[in-house]
């Protein structure tokens, strides 16, 4: 049954002025207006200096990850408040945010915190995790290693955790693979990658932080190649095999990639670094993984991008729907360079051409070069790494999903971070500029009961509940069609839109926002919209944005409330399509088959357990939409220690 309640009775402008004119003013109009403009200017400067996104931390200026920026680096400024809508109080230059009726200072109880643990995303039993390391498929098992702190729920004392799975979904924890027991990794057993040799043997290259805090590269290999679980690892006695070359600083040299073969039969790797503010990828050739020659020049460099962490380099097929071994090259192949930018904690990729002879790579479109163009994911997603899965002939992507709550909550709940569901990566033939990411098909083995909704009409300004039973573990596939007449009739404008600087879903446009409300309670006091926003330019051209709005995801004040998202290319004839995985405190959303992806962490205080619900919503002013969905309840993956682990040392 369609609920035609208006969504929220708010203004249709982004940012109503804080001192709106009132009929009761006695002062003459002119004086009133000039006072108003003075106040507005003062307010603008005050806002520049203090709050920026009207979030609860009034005096804390937050950038995208809830972290603080000095005024000079602040990118998104909101000179006018978003108006007194639900959950957004009037903040100007108050130093300490207080007493917003929708704020809870410290609501976290064990029930809320234990709900946050995911059911089918990889995470260790407790403590801190970050980068994925050395993923590979070996003797029937998928292996996953990861940066792990065995002592606390914050980063530190890093070693390599290890787990195995038959299907990338059901994981079994194994003992730590490598610990900080050598001078060359005493201060950190950091990120690395695996290479499978032609004879099937595995070598691992990883970064160690030495006793002198120098970043070096080390070689390790399985103690017993006949052990399919690869429990024990040996570090090469002659480590380190690489130290920072001349011109590269001790702390700018880390995260070696999987190696690929050159036409001369040598192995080639790349390692991210920087020179001044230019992010670079160094290239080394080796025959034995012990002795290396540094190539002149770099694989690629992009000025202004800063340190390149977790560089990844891999081929994609322009024509086939399968993955390619890292060594594959040829005319129907493009190469992707990816870097994690230390400066902004985002993962960027670019598609281009690899020139094997001199070990360089050129982007197809310099405007969307590495670090300045496309991101794997517009939410919380970092340190991603792919591997070639020779078992199923696909390239699989792992990504670290950190927390966006306070460390106090992390320490209380005893853990921090999860991994994304592994995703297949394919070249998007239709756009030619994007990669497509999609959760590995094995996740479908978790699907339980399904619900189908056909052509549900959602009028402008309304919310429709979707009755799917418990709504904290879901796989949602949806298609949206927007009223064609409204698309044509709407007048375009020059106003630019961006998810992160918009007012979220309370900012109504003619053709958006509309989509899903996940992890929402009945009264919608907490809600996480995942949605489309169509903007029409003055030239009549349509641009579609895909966003995830956390501003009302929780009434707690110490969680990230940002709005994530980006443009998503929608081609002629394509319906708007969406896939959402909801798994307690993580939401992974894929638009247009994975052309634009957003992962977010959500920490509701009320929309948890049985109180979490799912809704369709349409907060556009002029267009109705109709939605067709298939929604599955998802089982747990029962991630647990490997049974009868007699191998634990």
Partner 1 sequence: MGNQNLIERTCKQTPFYDLCIWSLKSNPESRDASVKKLAQIMVDSLKTKATETLDLIDELLQDGLALDPEMQKALTSCAERYNVIIRGDVPEINEALKTGDYKFAAKGANDAAIEANSCEIEFSTKSPLTDMNKVVHDVSVVAASIVKIIQTKFSF
Positions touching partner 1 (CB under 8 A) are: 49, 56-57, 59-61, 65-73, 95-99, 103, 105-106, 152-157, 187-188, 190, 209, 213, 215, 249-252, 275-277, 306-307, 342-343, 345, 406-408, 410-412, 557-558
Q: How far is the CB of 59 from partner 1 (least distance, A)?
A: 7
Nearer to partner 1 (CB atom), residue 142 or residue 382: 382
> Shortest Cβ distance from residue 71 to partner 1 (Å)?
6
End-to-end C-alpha distance for the chain, whole angstroms: 59
Residue linked to tokens 């991603």 = 384
- Contact predicate 180/159, CB 8 Å: yes
Give strand pairing partners of 378: none
Contact 145, 177 (CB under 8 A): yes
- Which is closer to partner 1, CB of 43 or CB of 306? 306
Give the 3-state secondary structure of residue 435: strand
Q: Are 512 and 491 in contact (CB under 8 A)?
A: no
Quote the tokens at residue 186. 């005493």
As a residue count, the chain comes to: 649
Least CB distance from residue 65 to partner 1, whole Å?
8
**569 close to 429: Cβ distance less than 8 angstroms:** no
Q: Closest separation between CB of residue 41 and partner 1, Å?
A: 21
Per the CB < 8 A criterion, the answer to whether 620 and 508 are in contact is yes
Taking the complex as a whole, the smallest distance from the CB of residue 213 to partner 1 amounts, in Å, to: 5
- For the CB of residue 408, give the shortest distance to partner 1 in the complex, in Å: 4
Give 2 or 105: the residue with its C-beta nearer to partner 1. 105
CB 481 within 8 A of CB 576: yes
483 secondary structure, DSSP code:
-
Q: Minimum Å distance from CB 465 to partner 1?
A: 33
Q: Is 131 a catalytic residue?
A: yes
Best CA proximity match to 310, nearest among 336, 280, 272: 272
Distance between CA atoms of 57 and 558, rounded to whole angstroms?
8
Residue 591: C-alpha distances to residues 70, 378, 577 (Å): 34, 12, 6
Burial class (CB in 10 A: 0-12, 13-18, 19+), 419: buried
Our CB check for partner 1 shows the closer of 277 and 489 to be 277
SS (H, E, C) 198-253: CCCCEEEEEEEECCCCCEEEEEEEECCCCCCCCCCEEECCCCCCECCCCCCCCCCC
At its nearest, how many Å lie between partner 1 and the CB of residue 411? 5
145 in helix, strand or coil?
strand
Q: Report how far residue 322's alpha carbon sits from residue 572's, in angstroms, rounded to the nearest whole number.
A: 25
Side-chain half-sphere CA neighbours of 379 within 13 A: 29
Phi and psi angles of residue 478, each rounded to the nearest 5 degrees, phi first: -135, 150
Report angle CA 369, 271, 129 to the nearest 5 degrees.
95
CB-wise, 190 or 314, nearer to partner 1? 190
- Nearer to partner 1 (CB atom), residue 157 or residue 481: 157
297: CB partners within 8 A, 6+ apart = 283, 358, 359, 360
Q: Which among 3, 56, 99, 131 is annotated as catalytic?
A: 131
Task: Give the dihedral sign, CA 488/494/498/503.
Answer: negative
Q: Which C-beta is closer to partner 1: that of 38 or that of 105? A: 105
**Residues whose CB is less than 8 angstroms from the CB of residue 290 and which lie 6 or more positions away in sequence, other chains included:** 219, 236, 238, 241
Task: Tell me how far CA of residue 240 lies from CA of 147, 177, 236, 533, in angstroms.
Answer: 19, 18, 8, 51
Distance CA 120, CA 637 (A): 5
Rounded Cα gap, residues 465 and 521, in angstroms: 10
Residue 498 C-beta: closest distance to partner 1, Å = 23
Q: Are 179 and 202 in contact (CB under 8 A)?
A: no
Which residue's CB is nearer to partner 1, number 414 or number 470? 414
User: Maximum CA pair distance of the chain?
Assistant: 89
Q: How far is the CB of 188 from partner 1 (least distance, A)?
A: 6
Nearer to partner 1, 70 or 319 (CB): 70
Q: Both tokens of residue 477?
A: 């596939």
Residue number, 72 or 237, with CB nearest to partner 1: 72
Q: Which is nearer to partner 1, 62 or 622 (CB)?
A: 62
Minimum Å gap between C-beta 345 and partner 1 is 6
Q: Tell me which residues are annotated as active site.
A: 131
């Amino acid at each position: 049954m369609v609920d035609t309640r208006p969504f929220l009775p708010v203004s249709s402008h982004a940012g109503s002025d804080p001192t709106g004119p009132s009929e009761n003013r006695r002062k003459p109009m002119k004086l009133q207006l000039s006072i108003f403009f003075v106040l507005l200017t003062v307010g603008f400067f005050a806002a520049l200096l203090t709050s920026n996104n009207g979030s609860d931390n009034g005096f804390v200026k937050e950038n995208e990850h809830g972290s603080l920026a000095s005024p000079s680096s602040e990118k998104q400024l909101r000179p006018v408040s978003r108006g007194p809508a639900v959950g957004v109080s009037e903040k100007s230059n108050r130093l300490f945010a207080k007493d917003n009726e929708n704020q809870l200072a410290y609501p976290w109880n064990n029930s809320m915190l234990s709900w946050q643990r995911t059911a089918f995303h990889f995470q260790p039993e407790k403590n801190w995790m970050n980068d994925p390391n050395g993923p590979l498929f070996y003797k029937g098992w998928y292996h996953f290693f990861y940066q792990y702190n065995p002592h606390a729920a914050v980063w530190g004392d890093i070693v390599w955790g290890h787990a195995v799975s038959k299907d990338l979904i059901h994981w079994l924890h194994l003992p730590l693979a490598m610990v900080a027991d050598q001078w060359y990794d005493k201060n950190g057993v950091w990120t690395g990658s695996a290479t499978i040799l032609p004879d099937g043997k595995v070598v691992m290259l990883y970064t160690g932080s030495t006793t002198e805090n120098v970043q070096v590269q080390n070689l390790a290999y399985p103690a017993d190649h006949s052990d399919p679980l690869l429990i024990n690892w040996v570090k090469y006695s002659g480590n380190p095999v690489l130290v920072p070359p001349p011109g590269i600083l001790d702390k700018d040299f880390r995260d070696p990639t999987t190696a690929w073969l050159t036409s001369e039969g040598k192995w080639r790797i790349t390692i991210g670094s920087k020179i001044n503010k230019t992010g670079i990828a160094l290239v080394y050739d080796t025959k034995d993984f012990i002795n290396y020659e540094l190539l002149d020049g770099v694989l690629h460099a992009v000025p202004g991008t800063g340190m390149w962490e977790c560089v990844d380099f891999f081929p994609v097929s322009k024509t086939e729907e399968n993955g390619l071994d890292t060594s594959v090259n040829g005319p129907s192949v493009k190469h992707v360079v990816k870097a994690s930018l230390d400066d902004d904690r985002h993962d960027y990729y670019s598609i281009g051409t690899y020139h094997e002879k001199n070990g360089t790579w050129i982007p197809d479109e310099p405007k969307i070069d590495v670090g300045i163009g496309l991101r794997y994911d517009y939410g919380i997603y970092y340190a991603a790494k792919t591997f070639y899965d020779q078992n199923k002939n696909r390239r699989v992507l792992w990504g670290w999903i950190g927390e966006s709550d306070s460390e106090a909550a992390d320490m209380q709940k005893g853990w921090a971070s999860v991994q994304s569901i592994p995703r297949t990566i394919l070249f998007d033939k239709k756009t030619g500029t994007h990669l497509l990411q999609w959760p590995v098909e094995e996740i479908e083995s978790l699907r339980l009961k399904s619900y189908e909704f056909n052509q549900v009409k959602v009028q402008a300004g309304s919310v429709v509940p979707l009755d799917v039973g418990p709504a904290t573990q879901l796989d949602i596939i949806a298609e949206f069609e927007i009223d064609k007449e409204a698309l044509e009739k709407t007048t375009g404008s020059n106003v630019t839109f961006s998810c992160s600087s918009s007012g979220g879903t309370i900012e109504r446009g003619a053709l958006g926002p509309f989509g899903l409300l996940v992890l929402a309670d009945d009264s919608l006091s907490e809600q996480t919209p995942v949605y489309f926003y169509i903007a029409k330019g003055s030239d009549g051209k349509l641009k579609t944005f895909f966003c995830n709005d956390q501003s009302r995801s929780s009434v707690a004040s110490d969680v990230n409330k940002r709005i994530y998202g980006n443009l998503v290319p929608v081609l002629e004839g394509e319906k708007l399509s969406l896939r959402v995985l909801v798994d307690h405190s993580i939401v992974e959303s894929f638009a247009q088959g994975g052309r634009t992806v957003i992962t977010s962490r959500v920490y509701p205080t009320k929309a948890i357990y049985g109180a979490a619900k799912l809704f369709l919503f349409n907060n556009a002013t002029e267009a109705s939409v109709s939605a067709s969905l298939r929604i599955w309840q998802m089982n747990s993956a029962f991630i647990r220690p490997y049974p009868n682990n007699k191998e634990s040392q």
